[in-house]
């Protein structure tokens, strides 16, 4: 009984070995490969803590859809400080640009000028009178000198008061205005940069695609550029296949290829986008039936239409598409 079981097991092993060794090889113009994707790894612009996630693995997103948000506590405080500085500098610019920004003070100076002019009229009249009296010999020379000095004093007072009024009505010097405006421009630029930094903390999808993976969760700290989301756009899916040296002349860049796989629908196509310039050994993930070609050339074809739905890692067979099929598309 044991001998019979042993013979049966030996026969099954022989059948399996025979099927593997003598299975019919695929046609010469059919190349084996698998589906691959160029994944976009999306991370924050600055080191911060993840505040919230808007997607999960497997989610379909459109361009511009929110993906995740980073904390903005420190940036918000810096932005408030920049806003307060702008308000301060705007007040300074307005102050130096205004030609008559203090009407009450100007009115006081104007009243002082009028008082000085009235005093000057009085001192002139007194001088004229003292001069006549001195000429007639009714007053001493000292009285005339005092009247002359009072007149000169009042004339100087009028000049001073007039210049004060004129200065109060003049704008500040152009250098001061330019410096104040430059400081204000710099502060506004800093606020704009701060607003951009805050806006960038809410990261959106750069393209339509499927979220392949989420690497961090809310509360975790992520460094700048470290990926939080892995996104795969449909146009980034491709088929990587390998062509033996004798078959290499049968394909060319831009050529349309037909793609087939187990359980897949018909009419799946891609277009050759890359052909390696150097040969390589057959990679272990490609199992040729009889290992006929030890050296192969790597090639890639961008998926088109329904073929973009193929999952990553799916083994496929690639063959040149018939001309009639290509022209019909």
Range from 21-35, 156-170, 309-323 carrying the lowest mean pLDDT: 21-35
Is the Cβ–Cβ distance between 203 and 42 less than 8 Å?
yes
First to last CA, the chain: 63
Measuring CA to CA, which residue among 214, 236, 208 is closest to residue 43? Answer: 214
Mean of per-residue pLDDT scores for the chain: 81
Using CA atoms, how far apart are residues 133 and 142, in angstroms rounded to an integer? 12
Q: Three-class SS of residue 173? A: coil
Q: What does the pLDDT look like over 27-38, one tens digit per residue? A: 557 888 899 989
Give the rounded percent of residues in the chain with a pLDDT score beyond 70: 81
Measuring CA to CA, which residue among 119, 110, 105, 127 is closest to residue 157? Answer: 119
Using CA atoms, how far apart are residues 146 and 183, in angstroms rounded to an integer? 55
Mean pLDDT of 288-302: 69
Question: Is pLDDT above 50 for 9?
Answer: yes
Range from 40-49, 177-186, 277-286 carrying the lowest mean pLDDT: 277-286
Residues 6 or more apart whose Cβ sits within 8 Å of residue 198: 72, 75, 76, 79
Which pLDDT score, from 0 to 100, does residue 111 have?
Answer: 85
What six digits make up the tokens of 84?
């307060």
Which pLDDT score, from 0 to 100, does residue 307 have?
Answer: 87
Which pLDDT score, from 0 to 100, does residue 175 have?
Answer: 72
Is the Cβ–Cβ distance between 273 and 255 less than 8 Å?
no
Is the Cβ–Cβ distance between 42 and 227 less than 8 Å?
yes
Q: What does the pLDDT look like over 30-80, one tens digit per residue? A: 888 899 989 999 999 999 999 999 999 989 999 999 999 999 988 889 888
Is the Cβ–Cβ distance between 275 and 261 less than 8 Å?
no
CA 33 to centroid of chain Cα atoms: 38
pTM over 0.85: no
Question: Is pLDDT above 50 for 327?
Answer: no
Which pLDDT score, from 0 to 100, does residue 229 have?
Answer: 95
Using CA atoms, how far apart are residues 233 and 41, in angstroms rounded to an integer? 11
Give the rounded percent of residues in the chain with a pLDDT score beyond 90: 25
Q: What does the pLDDT look like over 215-255, one tens digit per residue? A: 999 999 999 889 999 999 988 999 999 888 788 888 889 89
Using CA atoms, how far apart are residues 276 and 274, in angstroms rounded to an integer? 7
Which pLDDT score, from 0 to 100, does residue 284 have?
Answer: 53
């Amino acid at each position: 009984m044991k001998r019979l079981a042993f013979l049966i097991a030996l026969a099954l092993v022989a059948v399996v070995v025979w099927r593997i060794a003598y299975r019919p090889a695929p046609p010469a113009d059919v190349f084996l490969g698998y589906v691959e994707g160029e994944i976009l790894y999306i991370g924050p612009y600055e080191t911060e803590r993840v505040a919230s996630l808007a997607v999960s693995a497997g989610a379909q997103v459109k361009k511009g859809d929110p993906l995740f948000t980073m904390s903005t506590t420190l940036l918000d405080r810096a932005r408030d400080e920049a806003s307060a500085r702008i308000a301060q500098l705007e007040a300074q610019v307005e102050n130096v640009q205004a030609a008559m920004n203090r009407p009450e003070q100007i009115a006081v100076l104007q009243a002082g000028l009028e008082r000085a002019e009235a005093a000057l009229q009085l001192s002139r009249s007194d001088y004229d009178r003292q001069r006549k009296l001195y000429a007639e010999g009714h007053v001493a020379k000292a009285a005339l000198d005092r009247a002359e000095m009072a007149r000169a004093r009042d004339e100087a007072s009028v000049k001073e008061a007039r210049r004060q009024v004129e200065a109060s009505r003049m704008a500040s010097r152009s250098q001061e205005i330019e410096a104040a405006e430059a400081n204000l421009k710099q502060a506004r630029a800093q606020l704009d940069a701060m607003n951009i930094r805050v806006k960038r903390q809410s990261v959106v999808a750069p393209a339509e695609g499927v979220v392949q993976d989420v690497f961090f969760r809310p509360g975790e700290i992520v460094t700048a550029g470290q990926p939080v989301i892995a996104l795969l756009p449909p146009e980034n899916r491709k088929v990587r296949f390998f062509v033996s040296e004798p078959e290499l002349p049968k394909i060319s860049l831009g050529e349309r290829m037909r793609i087939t796989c187990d359980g897949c629908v018909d009419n799946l196509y891609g277009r050759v986008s890359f052909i390696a310039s150097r040969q390589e050994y057959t990679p272990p993930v490609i199992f040729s039936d009889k290992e006929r070609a030890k050296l192969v050339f790597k090639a890639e074809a961008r998926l088109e239409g329904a073929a973009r739905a193929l999952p990553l890692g799916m083994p496929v067979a690639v063959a040149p598409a018939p001309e009639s099929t290509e022209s019909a598309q």
